[in-house]
Amino acid sequence: MSDIVFITGATSGFGRAAAHRFAEAGWSLVLSGRRGDRLDALEAELGDKVAVHTLVLDVRDDEAVQKAVDTLPEPFKRVRTLINNAGLALAPQPAQKVALKDWHTMIDTNVTGLVNVTHALLPTLIEVGEGATIVNVGSIAGQWPYPGSHVYGASKAFVQQFSYNLRCDLQGTGVRVTDLAPGMAETEFTLVRTGGDQTASDKLYRGTTALTAEDIAEQMFYISTLPAHINFNRVEVMPTRQAWSAFAVDRD
Ligand code: NDP
Ligand code: 8X3
């Protein structure tokens, strides 16, 4: 029987690339996201290679998440790897200019949504035990402050600490937890962050070499298939052409 991976945010970027990467290795896929048309397209692409179950699911809806997990068809029930990837940044303006609803959306998705899916799948992962893996997609923004990151970076700091704390409680169960923290990667992330500004998105990635979705999918797969006695606590991955910068100083 093949291993099963449950991927949130499979309709784009890292999640979509992860679906392809796990499919390449013969895993059965549970693919979720809000955009059903994209899930259908993915199923059409991968369904003749591996078993695919799609879920139109908003991770913010705890009842829907629980129901989706409780009603997984038999061949998809024993999820071995959870990729908690669904997430977004909004409003890259200074904090004082951001609408409260944008902060709420980021918290509801990146924090509450990730917690919802984790809570629903924990009993299964514990039952699977040795080799079961949770990959929580954090960000360099969870560790390093920068202007316009406000609640986004703070939500990813939550992901890091939640991952570490989960590890403490899961010790002895065999379930591994990793905070996978990517740096700049070219996906639809910046398009979403800027409210659909394709020019701003293109400008951010122009003239440099960002990570690709496939780079991160490869890390997700690698972390999930490490020997069962190894847990990567945090994996921070930046493009070679991205690094930290000097402190900002306000001057007269
Ligand atoms: P994309 O915008 O390409 O993909 C985001 C995915 O999240 C989509 O599949 C989207 O699906 C899903 N999603 C968003 N909100 C919800 C929701 N409420 N319920 C279910 N699914 C949701 O961006 P990335 O692939 O880059 O982002 C994936 C993760 O990686 C995010 O957590 C992001 O914060 C993180 N990240 C991204 C980096 C980057 O530079 N790209 C760097 C570091 C971290 P749909 O809209 O169909 O629901
Ligand atoms: C997003 C990565 O570099 O925009 O999580 O902070 S970055």
pLDDT tens-digit map of 87-115? 999 999 999 999 999 999 999 999 999 99
Q: How far is CA 203 from CA 54, 88, 194, 206, 242, in A?
A: 34, 19, 12, 5, 15
- pLDDT value of residue 125: 98
159-193 pLDDT, tens per residue? 999 999 999 999 999 999 999 999 999 999 999 99
Strands of the sheet containing 52-56, edge to edge, are: 52-56, 28-33, 4-7, 81-84, 133-137, 176-182, 234-237
Q: Dig out the tokens for 177 from the structure.
A: 């937890």
Tell me the β-bridge partners of 182. Answer: 237
Atom of ligand 2 nearest to the CA of 141: 6
Closest CA to 131 of 92, 170, 158: 170
- pLDDT value of residue 14: 98
Q: How far is CA 202 from CA 16, 140, 145, 186, 212, in A?
A: 20, 21, 23, 9, 14
CB 109 within 8 A of CB 87: yes
* Cα 130 to Cα 10: distance, rounded to the nearest angstrom: 25
With cut-offs at 50, 70 and 90, classify the pLDDT of residue 1.
confident
> What amino acid occupies position 125?
L
- pLDDT value of residue 49: 97
Average the pLDDT over 62-68 and give the result: 98
Q: Is the pLDDT of residue 17 over 90?
A: yes
Residue 152: active-site member = yes
ipTM for the predicted complex comes to 0.98
DSSP state of 225: T
Q: How far is CA 242 from CA 132, 133, 184, 208, in A?
A: 32, 29, 8, 9
Residues having CB within 6 Å of any atom of ligand 1: 8-9, 11-15, 33-35, 58-60, 85-89, 109, 113, 137, 139, 182, 184-185, 187-189, 192
- pLDDT value of residue 86: 99
CB 59 within 8 A of CB 86: yes
